[in-house]
Structure formats: structure tokens, C-alpha cells
Chain A
Amino acid sequence: MTHVRDQVDAVYRTESRRVLATLIRLLDDFDLAEEALHDAFAAAVEQWATDGIPANPRAWLVSTGRFKAIDRVRRSARFEDVDSTMIDRIEASPDLPRDDDELEDDRLRLIFTCCHPALSPDARIALTLREVCGLTTEEVAHAFLTPPPTLAQRIVRAKSKIREARIPYEIPARANLPERLDSVLHVIYLVFNEGYLASSGESLTRSDLSGEAIRLGRLLAELLPEPEVIGLLALMLLHEARRPARSTPSGEMILLEDQDRSLWNRGQIEEGSELVERAIQSHRFGPYTLQAAIAAVHAEARDPRSTDWRQIVGLYDVLLRTDPSAIVELNRAAAVAMSEGPAAGLALIDAILVRGDLADYHLAHAARGDLCRRLGRIQEAIESYETALRLTTQNAERSFIMRRIDELRLTSPR
């Protein structure tokens, strides 16, 4: 019995999201599909113990789930005024997917529906982690430092919009694919960043989110190997590779130039670099691939001095043309400071700040502080770091900036 239980658990881990994706299509309802999924696994625990594991557990679960859903709707129809057309529709729905391709299409349908641009950005993230990754509402709430009832409400609202506005369960047509794929990639990128940067408070345990984002990226790259999908996966792997070197054991931040590069994950760097190559060779790449290419140049350098800063500046130039933004300009300025000296970088950062862009972005002031420090303009450096400190809530970043200010005060001839 316990043996069967273990096997059902194993099947749950590998198959539950696939089965759910297909049940949503067959039943045309997220909630009903989730209940059907639970019913199917509950039935599996009992029936597989006596009959043994079926040859195709996935097909068994889909078909059992569908029958259980029909039962449920019939039972509630006796008590409530349920639309009988619902039962007709489910019963008329095509029985089982004919092949694996169709099943994989269901997973794509689920991803595109959860990331539909008609849903609010917060809802897209919550729904994707809940339905595609299989995280519990509590887990998602915890990862985003949101009270569970708020998050549950967000998911309920999103599902109700899918139902009431009739957001279709489909893979977008070619013509809409770029826009729709952007939305999916953006969700994955935000999930990754949330885990990577941990936007506020303690950073503990949230690295799980980066892992989920990478898993999502792998799944998408497998189902839909578009250049930017591959580029995003590469970008995440190359950033993730640096995680062990990014902070001290007590959680203090270590800058790229001060990191112990022997701690970087070589396997992830190699995989990421190969993926970047593949994406670039397609000649249809975009901002994610370019950012990944920049991360790959960093990753390939044995030490900060041997970094090919000119190449990095060149990649930022291309990135600015395809996806202009003040943040990209700021990063380009930091790269210029490395290749042409701090004065050149400082001039660019000041030009951005004078425009008023990024005036509230702590990293712009921290970068300015760093360049002033290198130029020996200590008082100005302290002022910029103090502005940065006022603008950030993230603990590790705060303590890093405070350390810098203390160091500067020691050297300052006040």
C-alpha cells in the first residue's frame, strides 16, 4: 500500500500539471479541472493498490478526472439550477488526447492563458505559479510577501475573468505570437528577478522562485524554442550561476568585481553560453538574448581585469537600439566607466539624472557614488550613497551601502 502511495506521489510530481492542463481544456473550467485532478489522484491511490499501476498513468488520470467531473456536475445539477448544457458539453468533448504532441500543446495553452495580457500583471504571476508550477497559494503568497487571502482573492478574480470574459484556452496564432510571447517571457523574468533580487526584506528561502522561473524557462524552451525563449533561459542560468558568490554567509552583498569567481557554477555558465550562441545564430533575437550575451561576457572572464568591457559596451549599444530605456543607459554608463575610466561613466550618469529619469532609482545613485569614490571626490560620493540609502528597502543592499559610507567617512578629511 505504502509502495503504491509512493508511486502515486511520484506520478503526481511528474504528471499532475500535464493532466491539469488537459483537464482544463476538456472541462473548460479551471476550478472544475482542479477538483477533477484531486478526485483522479484520490481514485488512483485506491484503485492502483488493487489493480496495479496502469500502463499509461497520464491517460488514466485524464479519463478518470473527466468522469469524476461529469459526476460532480450531475450531482450538483440535482440540487441547483445548473445549466444542463454544461454536462452535454463535457460529455461531447473529445475523450482523450490522441498523442503526446497534443498533450504538450495543452501545457502551452495553459501557460499562454495564465499569462494573457487581459489579466493584471500580478494575477499573471500568481496564476502561472499556481497552475503551471503547481505551487500552493500559501507558497506563492509567502514568496511575494503577500497575505494569503489577498493572493487567493487575486487568483479567484483572474479565474473569474477568464470565465466571464471568455479568454480562450489556446495557443495564439502566428500573428499575435510576438505580443503574447512577450507577456509570457515577462512573467517568467519577473518571477526570476523576485527570487534573485528579493525586492524587500529578508532574502531567505526566496531563491526557490529563481529555480521555478528556470524550470518554467526550460519547459517553454522545450515546447516553443523561439530565440528569445532560449535567450531568457540563458540569461537566467548565467545570473543564477553567480548566486553562490553574490553574498557572504551572513547575507551581505558582494559586488561583481569582488566576487570569488571559483564559486560560480561552471555547468550553468557553459549551458547558458551555448544557449546564447544558439539564440544569436537565429538572427531573430531581442533584448533577453542581448542581456544574456552581456552576462556571458562577464561569465567568461577569469577575473574583473580581463573582462572585455569594449564588447560589453558594444552589446549595450545594440540593446539600446532595440529596447531603449534609462536603466539600459545606466548599465551602459557603468560599462563605459570600466572601459574608458570613471570620469567618462560619471558624465553619462549625470546626464541621465539631469533628465530626471531614474532620480528615484537607488542603483543610479549608488553607481554615481561608486564613480565619485574612484575619482577621489569623497564628499560627493557620500552624498550619492546617502541618497541611494534613502531609496532602498532591501536589507542586504542597505547594509552594503552603509558599509561604503562608513569606509568613505574614515578616509574623508572632515
Chain B
Amino acid sequence: MKYLCLIYEDESKFATTPKPEMDKIMSEYGAFGESIKKSGHHVAGYQLQTTDTATTVRSRNGKVSTTDGPFAETKEQLGGFYLIEAKDLNDAVQVASRIPSVRLGSIEVRPIVERNQAKAQPAEALASSGAA
């Protein structure tokens, strides 16, 4: 079963975080990434650029509108994610609780809808056919 772990943090704090501390967090992320690859939980994971680079797209009555900024202005912003393969919610929560940002922000854990088709075709296969 796949879960998406959404990492929410107050990105305004990044600017004021001293470099040594930032380096420490990044090296923790490195170690965490390695550990979930080893344990077989890792499917994908990326850090996002900050929300000042975000663009929100909507289409209403056939008219596409594009606006600057994230979907919603909130105190904590989506800063990155991991897609993981976990046995069940307890297993997923156990992984999420080790994401370094869990101490600074919060992690939302969302189960991925598994369609029969997706089951027959592994995610990696879908991704590679998309790239081809």
C-alpha cells in the first residue's frame, strides 16, 4: 500500500536558520533517505521550491486562469514529499515520524488510491512509459 507523506513547514523560517543548522538538517535528510531506501519503503521523494515560485491554475467555464502563488495562504507550506510503500498506516506513521522536518513542522500522511490497473502495472513501469 502506498502513502504520500506531505511535509509542511513554515518556509519563512528557512531564511533565518543559521547555515550550520541548515547543513545539519540536510545531512539528516540524506541519512533518512538512505534508511528508507534500505528498508524498502522508498518510492519517490522530492523537495519543492518555496511557494513564491508557485503558480495556481484553474479552469472555469472553459476559461483557464493562472494566478501567482500557492493554492492557499497558510502558516505552514508544502515543502516536499515522500511517496512510500508501507505495510499499513502504523508502518507509514513510523516512517513519517522519522522525517527530519517532523520536529519543525508537520507531516500529513495520505493513503494513495490503488486502482486495479495500477496494481497490474507497477508505478515504475508507468513512470518509464510516461518518460518514453
Query: Which residues in A have some Cβ–Cβ distance to B below 8 Å?
Result: 83, 118, 164-168, 170, 172, 176
B67: interface (CB < 8 Å): no
Of the candidates A83, A166, A168, which one forms a contact with B116 in the assembled complex, judged by CB atoms under 8 Å apart?
A83
What is the 8 Å Cβ interface bit string for chain B, positions 92-112, against chain A (1 contact, 0 not)? 010000000000000001010
Q: A118-B89, A165-B111, A166-B1 are in contact. List 16 more A-B contacts (CB 8 A).
A: A83-B116, A118-B93, A164-B111, A165-B109, A166-B88, A166-B89, A167-B88, A167-B89, A167-B90, A168-B87, A168-B88, A168-B90, A168-B91, A170-B90, A172-B90, A176-B90
Query: Which residues in B have some Cβ–Cβ distance to A below 8 Å?
Result: 1, 87-91, 93, 109, 111, 116
Q: How far is the CA of A157 from the CA of B91 in the complex (A)?
A: 22
Of the candidates A83, A168, A172, A176, which one forms a contact with B89 in the assembled complex, judged by CB atoms under 8 Å apart?
A168
- Give chain B residues whose Cβ lies under 8 Å from the Cβ of A166: 1, 88-89, 111
**B98: shortest Cβ distance to chain A, in Å?**
13
- Give chain B residues whose Cβ lies under 8 Å from the Cβ of A165: 89, 109, 111
Of all chain B residues, which has the CB nearest A167?
A: B89
Of all chain B residues, which has the CB nearest A170?
A: B90
- Give chain A residues whose Cβ lies under 8 Å from the Cβ of B91: 168
Of all chain A residues, which has the CB nearest B116?
A: A83
Q: How far is the CA of A170 from the CA of B87 in the complex (A)?
A: 12
Q: How far is the CA of A414 from the CA of B91 in the complex (A)?
A: 68
Q: How far is the CA of A167 from the CA of B89 in the complex (A)?
A: 5
- Give chain B residues whose Cβ lies under 8 Å from the Cβ of A170: 90
**A173: shortest Cβ distance to chain B, in Å?**
8
Of all chain A residues, which has the CB nearest B113?
A: A164
Q: How far is the CA of A168 from the CA of B87 in the complex (A)?
A: 9
- Give chain A residues whose Cβ lies under 8 Å from the Cβ of B87: 168
Q: How far is the CA of A167 from the CA of B93 in the complex (A)?
A: 10
Q: How far is the CA of A167 from the CA of B91 in the complex (A)?
A: 9
10 nearest CB pairs, A to B: A168-B88, A166-B88, A165-B111, A167-B89, A165-B89, A168-B90, A166-B1, A166-B89, A164-B111, A118-B89
Selected A-B contacts with CB under 8 Å, 22 pairs: A83-B116, A118-B89, A118-B93, A164-B111, A165-B89, A165-B109, A165-B111, A166-B1, A166-B88, A166-B89, A166-B111, A167-B88, A167-B89, A167-B90, A168-B87, A168-B88, A168-B89, A168-B90, A168-B91, A170-B90, A172-B90, A176-B90
Q: How far is the CA of A230 from the CA of B87 in the complex (A)?
A: 33
Of all chain A residues, which has the CB nearest B1?
A: A166
Of listed B87, B90, B91, B93, residue having the most chain A CB within 10 A: B90
- Give chain B residues whose Cβ lies under 8 Å from the Cβ of A168: 87-91
**A2: shortest Cβ distance to chain B, in Å?**
46
- Give chain B residues whose Cβ lies under 8 Å from the Cβ of A118: 89, 93
Q: How far is the CA of A170 from the CA of B88 in the complex (A)?
A: 11
**B103: shortest Cβ distance to chain A, in Å?**
17
Of listed A166, A167, A168, A176, residue having the most chain B CB within 10 A: A166
Q: How far is the CA of A83 from the CA of B117 in the complex (A)?
A: 12
**A110: shortest Cβ distance to chain B, in Å?**
16
Q: How far is the CA of A176 from the CA of B93 in the complex (A)?
A: 11
**A108: shortest Cβ distance to chain B, in Å?**
15
**B70: shortest Cβ distance to chain A, in Å?**
25
**B126: shortest Cβ distance to chain A, in Å?**
20
Of all chain A residues, which has the CB nearest B3?
A: A165
Of listed B1, B88, B109, residue having the most chain A CB within 10 A: B88
- Give chain B residues whose Cβ lies under 8 Å from the Cβ of A83: 116
**B116: shortest Cβ distance to chain A, in Å?**
7
Q: How far is the CA of A118 from the CA of B109 in the complex (A)?
A: 10
- Give chain A residues whose Cβ lies under 8 Å from the Cβ of B111: 164-166
- Give chain A residues whose Cβ lies under 8 Å from the Cβ of B90: 167-168, 170, 172, 176
Q: How far is the CA of A118 from the CA of B89 in the complex (A)?
A: 9
**A56: shortest Cβ distance to chain B, in Å?**
32
Q: How far is the CA of A413 from the CA of B98 in the complex (A)?
A: 66
Of all chain A residues, which has the CB nearest B94?
A: A176
Q: How far is the CA of A176 from the CA of B89 in the complex (A)?
A: 13
**A165: shortest Cβ distance to chain B, in Å?**
5
**B119: shortest Cβ distance to chain A, in Å?**
9
Q: How far is the CA of A168 from the CA of B91 in the complex (A)?
A: 9
Of all chain B residues, which has the CB nearest A169?
A: B88
Q: How far is the CA of A172 from the CA of B88 in the complex (A)?
A: 13
- Give chain B residues whose Cβ lies under 8 Å from the Cβ of A164: 111
Of listed A83, A118, A165, A176, residue having the most chain B CB within 10 A: A165
- Give chain B residues whose Cβ lies under 8 Å from the Cβ of A176: 90
